[in-house]
Amino acid sequence: MSLSVQLLWLIPALPLLAAGIGALTPRRGRGLAAGAAIGAMGIAFLLSCGALTTALAHPAAHAAHNFAWFDLGLGALRLGWLLDPLTAFMCVMVTFVGLLIFIFSVGYMHEDANFTRFFCFLSLFAAAMLGLLVANSLLLLFICWELVGLASYLLIGFWFHKPAAAAAAKKAFITTRIGDLGLLLGMLWLYDSTGSLLFYDGGAGVLEPNALGSLVAQTTVGGLAVSTAIGLLIFCGAIGKSGQFPLHVWLPDAMEGPTPVSALIHAATMVAAGVFLIARVYPLMAVDQLLAAPPLHALTVVATIGAITALMGALIGVAQSDIKRILAFSTVSQLGYMMLALGVGSWVAAIFHLLTHAFFKALLFLGAGSVIHAAHHEQDIRQLGGLRGPMRTTFATFAIGTMALTGVPFLFSGFWSKEGILHAAHEWDVSHLPFYAGLAAVVLTAFYMTRLVAETFYGSARSDSASHAHENPSVMTLPLVILAVCAIALGFLGTPVWPWLQARLLGQEEVHGHSLLEGGGLMILSIFLVALGLGVGWAIYGRKLRVSAAAPDPLETALPPVFATLRAKFGFDELYAATVGRLNNAIAVVADLLDRYVWDGAIRFLAVLGEFVGVVSRETDGDALNGGFNATSESLRDGGKAYSRAQTGEAHGYLRVIAIGFVLLVLAVMLGGGR
């Protein structure tokens, strides 16, 4: 089966249709809403597989189908669909992982009153993400990008009656929108410089040599190539969406949403969008590498931000105690890895990690959801414990996810994809700092995941909700098992011996592998670091298991200030509240005061001035001039006074000044106009 690029729109359209059905279904129509969502996603998955076969037949081609959206000027604003291996692999991943998350949600959200609405929003989320993947236009990508933002807003705030959820939803939308403004400006600049926003358009697209050549040839502020400036602005969007430093603050709060949503945000959609965006516009990001000595390469910034994020996320993850927040920070950290890979020049390594991560992170989040569901919505790992016995399937699959995430060698997918990134970082000739940051994050990841597993699944239950936990129905465990299989199997598509996935992404027909012994030293180092993290983690948290929920964390006892800093997430929220938040409020206050006093005050002053002029003119008008006129105006004035008592009086001030001004002006015209 194959799917041509002309029909590619069906992939996002089906979930969109399901979202529409879900929106119009009344609350009791649970089966219909869930069935439509799952059915649409299932068909979309099959279509994506079809698209993948089409794309793999000619991996080097960027098959595009463009069409006019509306007339603009002498031409039209055009949008289009794009099919290449990058799009196709991503579509397959999103639809497959999404499908499993949808199925899991049937069990997880079973008791929720707004079940139908939930599936409507889930479908919308998937549709927007799939639209973003198949877009052949930065504008269409941006449109879907914003819709992803909307869907995440709706889903993070799904339990909107909880103030924390409502606040988290707003925070996610606003924080990502800050990045989106950069993306918008970058897009406008690109449009203005090239006259197009289509990626591929038979030679006239923005990612094709003509446009890239002209973009890199021009320079702008600070000697930056225009392509660099545009690339950096576009990267702002990715920073926001993919939770990169310094806009990562929304991601942990997004845990307020139902757990399947967290899985969807953190694995298949939303955060993956930023990495995908940079991979999609990679030719633009990388074109300034051709320049001899530019002040800055766009990709250097990407690598730096990625390295900072990878390390920072892993550090913060060490000191959290909410099971979902630990996973959230691990996502932040892993996304940092992907950005790091993009920055050091290996976008295929980034996408490989994105794909493997999508499976094992979905697995971990759904595993966490399974725990939370069983433990009556208890999310604090200090309150859990001992779940290994009652929840065997969840434990086994969660353990597989953990090993994939930490990069336990050879069997697990995360090992191979992370290896690719570390190798790329090692070969980067600009700086080795990102490489070291990546290595440090390897240890930390193994450490905090060991802590998480030890506290949650080992020892004894430390609360009533944990002691009453039992395994969930198979509608929830089956997706876990499937994801666990993928978390293992997927790695073998991209091992150094047979890097099939990487070759196809790069558009190569043949696969050139090499022996594991090449670069084996680095592999041994990273295996050692994983072992170190696991060993230290087990030594601290596994050998002496937590006995009560109130007991302090061993790290807290050993290094109180460090632990406190990490637990407070380096204080970014407070910092932003104290700076950006305050500045924002200050501008609002100023704007309001300007209106109330300065501008409105000026008008009131004019009114008073008018009244004053009126009084003066009344006092100075001679009887001789105004004999008969006075009588009339007196009576008018009396009437006016009576009327004005009923009114506020101020308006008459305006009237007067305007009347007087008008008279003066008429005089001026009469006197001046004759000349």
Partner 1 sequence: MTSLPLLSLIVFVPWAGAALLAILRKAPPTTVRVVALLFSLSTLVLGLMALGDFDPARITPQFVERQAWIAALNVHYHLGLDGLSLVLVLLTGIVTPAALLASWRDERDPRLFGALFLTLQGAALGVFLALDFFHWFLFWELSLVPAFFLIKLWGGPGASRAAYQFVIYTIGGSAFMLLAFAALYVATGTLDFIQLAQAAADGTLGQKLATLGGWWPKAVFLGVLLGLAVKVPLWPFHTWLPSAYAEAPTGGSMFLTGVMSKMGVYGFLRLLWPLFPPQLHAASPCLLWLALGGVVLGAYAAMRQTDLKRMIAYSSINHLSYCLLALFAVANATGRPGLTSEATAAALSGTILQMFNHGLSAAALFFCVGIIESRSGGRRGLNDFGGVRTAAPIFAGLCGIAMFSSIGLPGLNGFVGEFLIFRGVFGLVPWAAAVACLGLLATALFLLTFWQRVFHGPVRGLAANLKDLSVLEIVTLAPLVALMFVFGIWPQFLAGLINPLVTTWAGHLSLP
Q: With binding defined as CB under 8 A, does residue 666 bind partner 1?
A: yes
Count of positions on this chain that bind partner 1 (CB under 8 A): 65
Binding segment for partner 1 (CB under 8 A), chosen from 86-94, 144-152, 390-398, 425-433, is: 144-152
d(CA 43, CA 126): 13
Q: With binding defined as CB under 8 A, does residue 616 bind partner 1?
A: no
Q: Cβ(496)–Cβ(418) under 8 Å?
A: no
Nearest to 276 by CA among 325, 326, 342: 342
Nearest to 425 by CA among 513, 312, 523, 345: 345
Binding segment for partner 1 (CB under 8 A), chosen from 139-147, 287-295, 332-340, 420-428, is: 139-147
Within the chain, how many helices (H) and strands (E) appear?
A: 29, 2
In terms of residues, how long is the chain?
Answer: 675
Nearest to 457 by CA among 509, 510, 396: 396
Give residues 27-56 in contact with partner 1 (rule: CB under 8 A). Answer: none
Contacts 24+ apart (CB under 8 A), 424-428: 424/341, 424/344, 424/345, 424/346, 424/349, 425/303, 425/340, 425/341, 425/344, 426/522, 427/344, 428/303, 428/344, 428/345
333: its two tokens: 């950290």
Least Å distance, CB 247 to partner 1, is 13
Least Å distance, CB 582 to partner 1, is 13
d(CA 426, CA 401): 26
Least Å distance, CB 468 to partner 1, is 28
Nearer to partner 1 among residue 133 and residue 323 (C-beta): 133
Nearest to 490 by CA among 385, 369, 354: 354
Nearer to partner 1 among residue 71 and residue 510 (C-beta): 71
Q: With binding defined as CB under 8 A, does residue 58 bind partner 1?
A: no
Least Å distance, CB 481 to partner 1, is 37
589: its two tokens: 């206050």
240-257: b or e for each residue (b if 16 or more CB lie within 10 Å)? bbbbbbebbbbbbbbbbb
Instruction: Using CB under 8 A, pick the residue from 7, 43, 185, 545 that binds partner 1.
Output: 185
Nearer to partner 1 among residue 188 and residue 564 (C-beta): 188
Least Å distance, CB 171 to partner 1, is 9
Nearer to partner 1 among residue 427 and residue 592 (C-beta): 592
Q: Cβ(288)–Cβ(216) under 8 Å?
A: yes
Q: With binding defined as CB under 8 A, does residue 615 bind partner 1?
A: no
Binding segment for partner 1 (CB under 8 A), chosen from 2-10, 165-173, 347-355, 482-490, is: 165-173
362: its two tokens: 């979905």
Binding segment for partner 1 (CB under 8 A), chosen from 251-259, 550-558, 581-589, 620-628, is: 581-589
Instruction: Using CB under 8 A, pick the residue from 84, 146, 253, 378 that binds partner 1.
Output: 146
d(CA 534, CA 352): 24
Binding segment for partner 1 (CB under 8 A), chosen from 371-379, 560-568, 595-603, 630-638, is: 595-603
Nearer to partner 1 among residue 57 and residue 594 (C-beta): 594
Nearer to partner 1 among residue 167 and residue 478 (C-beta): 167
Nearer to partner 1 among residue 590 and residue 615 (C-beta): 590
Q: Cβ(309)–Cβ(339) under 8 Å?
A: yes
Binding segment for partner 1 (CB under 8 A), chosen from 248-256, 465-473, 488-496, 591-599, is: 591-599
d(CA 472, CA 475): 8
Instruction: Using CB under 8 A, pick the residue from 147, 155, 335, 372 that binds partner 1.
Output: 147
Q: With binding defined as CB under 8 A, does residue 510 bind partner 1?
A: no
d(CA 434, CA 421): 10
Give residues 622-661 in contact with partner 1 (rule: CB under 8 A). Answer: 647-648, 650-651, 654-655, 657-658, 661
DSSP β-ladder status, 75-83 and 63-72:
antiparallel
Nearer to partner 1 among residue 276 and residue 337 (C-beta): 276
Binding segment for partner 1 (CB under 8 A), chosen from 78-86, 97-105, 419-427, 592-600, is: 592-600
Output helix, strand, coil percentages for the chain, rounded to the nearest 5.
Answer: 75, 5, 20
Q: Is 9 helix (H, G, I), strand (E, B) or coil?
A: coil
Other CB atoms within 10 A of residue 545 CB: 14
Q: With binding defined as CB under 8 A, does residue 609 bind partner 1?
A: no
Neighbouring residues of 90: CB distance < 8 A, sequence distance ≥ 6? 133, 272, 276, 351, 354, 355
Q: With binding defined as CB under 8 A, does residue 139 bind partner 1?
A: yes
Q: With binding defined as CB under 8 A, does residue 603 bind partner 1?
A: yes
Give residues 65-124 in contact with partner 1 (rule: CB under 8 A). Answer: 69-74
Least Å distance, CB 473 to partner 1, is 29
Instruction: Using CB under 8 A, pick the residue from 217, 568, 589, 616 that binds partner 1.
Output: 589
Q: With binding defined as CB under 8 A, does residue 574 bind partner 1?
A: no
Nearest to 401 by CA among 439, 440, 359, 351: 359
**Unique residue bearing structure tokens 């001992």:** 386
Least Å distance, CB 69 to partner 1, is 7
Nearest to 57 by CA among 38, 79, 78, 85: 85
Least Å distance, CB 563 to partner 1, is 33
Q: With binding defined as CB under 8 A, does residue 475 bind partner 1?
A: no
Q: Which residues are near partner 1 by CB under 8 A?
A: 23, 69-74, 139, 142-144, 146-147, 150, 157, 160-163, 165-167, 169-170, 173-174, 177-178, 181, 184-185, 188-189, 191-192, 195, 584, 587-592, 594-595, 598-600, 603, 647-648, 650-651, 654-655, 657-658, 661-662, 665-666, 669, 672-673, 675
